[in-house]
């Protein structure tokens, strides 16, 4: 182990030499308050910054036994520390030369609390932060003096401000720990009580903008309060009794006029598959972890998906038991999305009519009269949603503003009026009885089992001409896998670049370890998730990295299914 004095001597000695002299930094350096590990040294000042870690002892971090007593508490604290590290780095780092000189950056969590590799709080109280540092240069020469300031002043300042409970605030640390534990306990209650989701009274659902997921501030943010008919109580380990709206399993409609909060509520439910950090406003908005947002995606590819329950034989006799296309329509893409989600283990479907294909959602009586069923291959969701629930146990939460035909198949109807929910289930039943639509149900038979798919491993190729595996993430939800670019912009339950990158690495694991031409998609997804559960996120990369975050099998499936080179065999 090398000392701080040795580090200063080394950096002073390479001042003005070629940039590759920094390679001697690799290894472990002992600082008074932490250990600094330099895992990778960048090749030049314009390359991706160097990867480093700091590890604090339990005594130095000072988190205390109360926040270390469970994994959920430690995850809540780790998310806080990563965010504080990011804030401290932004306030501390200065430009120290050419290229990325002086950069200090960490993969910053969003509002969701996910297992991640940027900051780790271990059971024994040690704290590890993984981040990137731009080693200083003048031109393409090492700037040793600036590196001394960066490594011995800037980084210790950031560490001391962000990774020690004394600096962060013991109350703040404890609040994040207890909040995360409560959210996990609330999620366990969902299945036991037969609920799809729970939205606590007082929750702040509105976000600042479409690209800023932080809570909307001020008086225009209207707190959520449940209608009496749907109000339930849950006893949480730390917060005690919490009251709010419980959405039961089955078919639930969220209705109301435009701009009254329907989609805002659904988005909160959609993100409720993850815990949220203390102060987010949605700390006690929790959803079935197997809930999946479904939408139409015109132009996406589909590989061998059995969409026959929703779409029958197409013109020119094209079958749909193993449907493939490089350019799906709105209806075929939404049908494929549902089947793929079920294949990945989805138990609840979340749908907003604003992003759905109209002809997939409904065919009203007039259109049935004009275009007879034998000329229409689509069986609309309105005629399948009850069968999904009654025969397969798959619930649905659907936002509707223009299709009253769904009142005939709903178990629960919630109306949003000026961002306030009202239980209008009884009224909806009366309306359905008083104003019959006259439409004919077009799917009298129950849904059959969907055919399993067996991926061809050669069609999932991560290589390029230069590398055995190339995986990158670009802004906007684009995942690079080998020579292919996978568009994940419609997968709104992917909440960070770190999560998307981890999905890419998970796809690589699936290809290299589990795809053999005999295993099904369902089996492969399970094996990947079991491996990560057993060995942690670090199993996804043979390097020590800080830019990975936990994902669900549904998001891994979404990436595989949108890989345009994917080829499958059907078991049917």
- Integer Cα distance of 129 and 33 in angstroms: 14
* pLDDT, tens only, 308-336: 999 998 887 788 999 999 999 999 999 99
Q: What is the pLDDT of residue 336?
A: 98
Statement: residue 572 has pLDDT above 70: no
32: tokens are: 């008074």
Residue 218 DSSP code = S
- Integer Cα distance of 544 and 254 in angstroms: 45
Mean pLDDT of 277-291: 97
338: left (phi over 0), alpha (psi -120 to 50) or beta: alpha
Q: Strand 251-256 to strand 395-399: parallel, antiparallel, or no bridges (unpaired)?
A: parallel
Q: What is the pLDDT of residue 304?
A: 97
* pLDDT, tens only, 201-260: 999 999 988 888 899 887 778 999 999 999 999 999 999 999 999 999 999 999 999 989
Q: What is the pLDDT of residue 477?
A: 87
Q: What is the pTM of this model?
A: 0.96
Phi, psi torsion values for 224, nearest 5 degrees: -85, 135
- What does pLDDT average to over the chain? 95
> How far is CA 13 from each of CA 35, 142, 147, 485, rounded to the nearest angstrom?
22, 10, 11, 45
Statement: residue 387 has pLDDT above 90: yes
Q: Are 360 and 296 in contact (CB under 8 A)?
A: yes
Question: Which DSSP string corresponds to 229-282?
Answer: GGEEEEEETTTEEEEEEEEESSEEEEEE-TTSSHHHHHHHHHHTTSEE-TTSS-
DSSP E strand stretches across 381-539: 395-399, 412-417, 420-423, 453-455, 471-474, 478-481, 484-487
* pLDDT, tens only, 506-555: 999 999 999 999 999 999 999 999 999 999 999 999 999 999 999 999 99
> How far is CA 278 from each of CA 65, 78, 267, rounded to the nearest angstrom?
20, 12, 19
| More confidently predicted of 212 and 381 | 381
212 CA to centre of own chain: 15
The residues, ordered by sequence, that sit 6+ positions from 343 with a Cβ below 8 Å of its Cβ are 450, 452, 453, 521, 522, 557
Mean pLDDT of 29-33: 95
| More confidently predicted of 21 and 443 | 21
Q: What is the dihedral of CA 213, 215, 216, 222, to 10 degrees?
A: 130
Q: What is the pLDDT of residue 77?
A: 98
Statement: residue 373 has pLDDT above 80: yes
CB under 8 Å, gap of 24 or more: what pairs does 521-529 form?
521/343, 521/344, 521/452, 521/453, 521/454, 521/455, 521/557, 521/560, 521/568, 522/343, 522/344, 522/345, 522/452, 524/455, 525/344, 525/345, 525/553, 525/556, 525/557, 526/553, 528/553, 528/556, 529/553, 529/556
At 1, the pLDDT band (50, 70, 90 cuts) reads: confident
* pLDDT, tens only, 395-448: 999 999 988 999 999 999 999 999 999 999 999 999 999 999 999 999 877 888
447: tokens are: 């849904």
């Amino acid at each position: 182990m090398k000392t701080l004095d040795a580090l200063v001597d080394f950096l002073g000695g390479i001042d003005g030499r070629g940039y590759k002299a920094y390679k001697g930094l690799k290894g472990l350096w002992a600082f008074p308050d932490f250990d600094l590990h330099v895992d990778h040294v960048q090749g030049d000042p314009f390359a991706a910054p160097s990867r480093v870690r700091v590890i604090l002892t339990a005594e130095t971090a000072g988190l205390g036994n109360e926040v270390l007593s469970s994994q959920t508490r430690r995850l809540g604290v780790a998310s806080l520390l990563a965010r504080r590290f990011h804030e401290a780095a932004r306030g501390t780092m200065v430009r120290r030369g050419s290229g990325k000189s002086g950069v200090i950056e960490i993969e910053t969590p969003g509002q969701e609390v996910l297992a991640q590799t940027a900051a780790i709080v271990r059971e024994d109280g040690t704290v590890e932060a993984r981040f990137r540092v731009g080693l200083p240069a003048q031109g393409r020469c090492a700037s040793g003096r600036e590196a001394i300031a960066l490594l011995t002043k800037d980084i210790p300042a950031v560490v001391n401000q962000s990774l020690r409970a004394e600096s962060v605030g013991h109350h703040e640390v404890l609040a994040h720990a207890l909040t995360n534990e409560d959210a996990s306990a609330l999620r366990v209650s969902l299945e036991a009580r037969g609920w799809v989701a729970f939205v606590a009274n007082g929750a702040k659902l509105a976000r600042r903008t479409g690209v800023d997921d932080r809570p909307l501030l001020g008086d225009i943010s209207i707190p959520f309060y449940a209608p009496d008919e749907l109000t339930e109580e849950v006893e949480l380990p730390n917060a005690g009794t919490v009251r709010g709206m419980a959405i039961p399993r089955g078919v639930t409609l969220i209705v109301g006029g435009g701009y009254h909060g329907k989609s805002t509520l659904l988005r909160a439910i959609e993100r409720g598959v993850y815990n949220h950090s203390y102060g987010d406003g949605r700390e006690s908005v929790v959803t079935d972890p197997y809930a999946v947002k479904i939408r139409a995606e015109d132009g996406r590819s589909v590989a061998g998906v059995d969409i026959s329950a929703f779409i029958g034989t197409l013109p020119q006799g094209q079958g749909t038991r193993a449907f493939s296309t490089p350019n799906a329509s709105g209806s075929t893409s939404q049908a494929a999305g549902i089947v793929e989600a079920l294949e990945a283990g989805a138990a609840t479907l979340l749908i907003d009519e604003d992003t759905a294909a109209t002809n997939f959602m409904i065919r009203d009586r007039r259109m049935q009269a004009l275009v007879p069923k034998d000329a229409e291959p689509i069986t609309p969701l309105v005629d399948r949603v009850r069968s999904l629930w009654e025969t397969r146990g798959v619930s649905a939460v659907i936002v509707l503003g223009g299709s009253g035909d769904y009142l005939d198949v709903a178990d629960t109807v919630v109306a949003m009026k000026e961002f306030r929910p009202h239980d209008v289930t009884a009224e909806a039943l009366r309306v359905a009885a008083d104003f019959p639509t006259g439409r004919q149900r077009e799917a009298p038979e129950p849904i059959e089992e969907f055919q399993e798919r067996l991926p061809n491993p050669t069609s999932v190729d991560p290589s390029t001409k230069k590398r055995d595996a190339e995986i990158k993430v670009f802004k906007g939800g684009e995942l690079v896998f080998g020579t292919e670019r996978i568009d994940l912009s419609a997968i709104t339950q992917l909440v960070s670049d770190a999560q998307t990158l981890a999905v890419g690495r998970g796809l690589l694991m699936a290809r290299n370890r589990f795809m053999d031409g005999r295993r099904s998609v369902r089996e492969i997804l399970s094996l990947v998730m079991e491996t990560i559960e057993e060995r942690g996120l670090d199993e996804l990369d043979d390097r020590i990295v800080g830019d990975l975050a936990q994902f669900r099998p549904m998001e891994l499936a979404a990436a595989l299914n949108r890989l345009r080179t994917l080829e499958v065999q059907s078991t049917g």
